[in-house]
Structure 1
């Protein structure tokens, strides 16, 4: 996967808040005319060898590109960066007659229309995982938030588990898979769950416990190193960040910004809780999996399960509870108004998955669905 550029300034030993954020997005490459997956050797080779610039790289499949923003300190900087990297990636794709499909699944493509990118890491994944590595017809969004040390990253991981189902529900963009309406807002979540190194973790308690677990998984032959862990949230293997991997690719720039702003705020709030000695909540793994499943299944269209309160609540209520937790932090950061406005907008128009289904209901045409989430050069 593409990694973020190093932080421009040294991270203070004990900062009052996690202050930087960056976003990685993966996109499907499609033919600019037919909107079918485009297996472009030219684009794949250019991305693989860095000819598209440092912010665009190849992904596991030859029909994908990945982008990474620079490290950002404000929501405004992040928005500019997302628009910039999407514009650059769309322009690069256009040189080979391609466009970007900005959603986690392609509405009608099949996995056998892609090939494995010829990078040693991906070849090793195939040798380890077999068919699973060839069937990655999904894209994700990864948010990096700076933290001072590994113990803080693990403390955030342990405490974030309760809130990530709601975060996931706000990003769904993968309702279709290989031409079928799956009934899920985020079928990517279900598809990726076939790997045993995805999803939520049990509480770890310390950086030492995390390193011991990584070593155990390495000895088990499941991973080569921690960069191969695809958990919903993990410490970055290379940079001083905690990396959230729970979200689908957000079609709208507004939704990417909201996703990253909320996760940065959640990191600050949970790190502060850990600093004060507030224990991580005890949550049965079965209930956590149920909450995550409901979020992937229904998105914002039905009730979500609040694992802390132990009740089913309408999705807008779950979102309101998350924002209530973050409100003071977002106000202190000067981001409350934007976050609340973007949330209101998202709840009003629905997730990308909801809007894709509306296109299908209106047109009966999966190609029209694909067109609704395609980004062409000059339209970012």
Structure 2
């Protein structure tokens, strides 16, 4: 048995030379399954929820093949890798839908900090109480998935100092998102944000992890991990997804993994302390990815991101074997041991040497 999984994949389009060109209007009109983002240089496709990893692999690759084929018909265009405007112009917003009031709000409030490409991983969990517990665990461990995917050290042709410039600049919204204690808490909090204007609509919740469903905040059926940079290698993406799924199976078997009960941090301030640790960990990983020193949510002890991932990998492996997807998990071991960008390497790449 495996959980259902689906992806939202955002990408840039442009020329083989790296110039990013907005083509989303034409793409959406011509190809089923693609949707516009506020900036026309982005386009997105979504895969249907599937349990089987082999079928997921096909679902990830097929839309890209169709898109590349269509782009070639338009001219000398292709899909560009990366999660930021690496060689683009981040000073100007290229509106895809000038008449859309929500897009106007996004442009005026955030500018091009939201013009990024990423992967959103959705895992199906139908029980709302289990879903909230899963969101709490994945929220405090979300920095590890960013560490595995971080791949955006450039913006506007320059080195930024981040391994994930996307997450370093992206405006998490609202600025304070609690660890939801229950489904009722999530509903109440959402209504409060809508009334206060900190959220413009139920989709305007841009945290690393959020509960999702067809009628938010009421009907929920999946966990959405939003923190990952764009992973163009589908096997690497499936490996990260396998780690996430195996970790959720651990939680399903042992509900006491819930950070609100399993952490040894002071009970009176545990929720806020966990948020402080998590936000600091996200910031550290955005800058140094696998080499970042983090603090563990269980007790606050320091631990390198790559060491934490290696520990989770060992703990998750038996469950991945039990549920039949360990072969898709195995690339995590290689990814977590790779060398990361050093300043000299980033500078050399930027200079074209």
Cα separation, 2, equivalents of 1:147 and 1:357: 44
Contact 1:27 1:139 in 2 (8 A): yes
Change beyond 3 A, Cα 1:36–1:322: same
Change beyond 3 A, Cα 1:114–1:203: closer
Corresponding residue of 2:154: 176
1:74 and 2:45 aligned? no
Q: CA deviation at 1:246?
A: 1.2
Which range moves more in the overlay, 151-160 or 277-286? 277-286
Contact 2:293 2:305 in 1 (8 A): yes
Corresponding residue of 2:282: 292
Total equivalences in the alignment: 338
Segments of 4+ in structure 1 off by > 6 A? Answer: 275-278
Residue of 58, 77, 82 corresponding to 1:103: 82
Corresponding residue of 1:123: 101
Corresponding residue of 2:317: 327
1:240 and 2:230 aligned? no
Corresponding residue of 2:333: 344
Q: Any unmatched runs of 5+ in structure 1?
A: 1-16, 369-380
Corresponding residue of 1:212: 188
TM-score by length of structure 2 reads 0.85
Contact 1:68 1:85 in 2 (8 A): no
RMSD over aligned Cα, in angstroms?
Answer: 2.8
TM-score by length of structure 1 reads 0.80
Match of 2:290, SS?
coil
1:262 and 2:246 aligned? no
Corresponding residue of 2:126: 148
Q: CA deviation at 1:361?
A: 2.1
By relative contact order (CA 8 Å, sep 6+), the higher-ranking structure is 1
Q: CA deviation at 1:21?
A: 0.3
Cα separation, 1, equivalents of 2:56 and 2:236: 12
Cα separation, 1, equivalents of 2:344 and 2:9: 22
In the TM superposition, 1:78-89 aligns within 5 A as: 78-89=56-67
Q: Any unmatched runs of 5+ in structure 2?
A: 215-219, 264-269
Corresponding residue of 1:221: 197
Change beyond 3 A, Cα 1:166–1:146: same
Corresponding residue of 1:31: 15
Cα separation, 1, equivalents of 2:77 and 2:344: 24
Change beyond 3 A, Cα 1:45–1:179: same
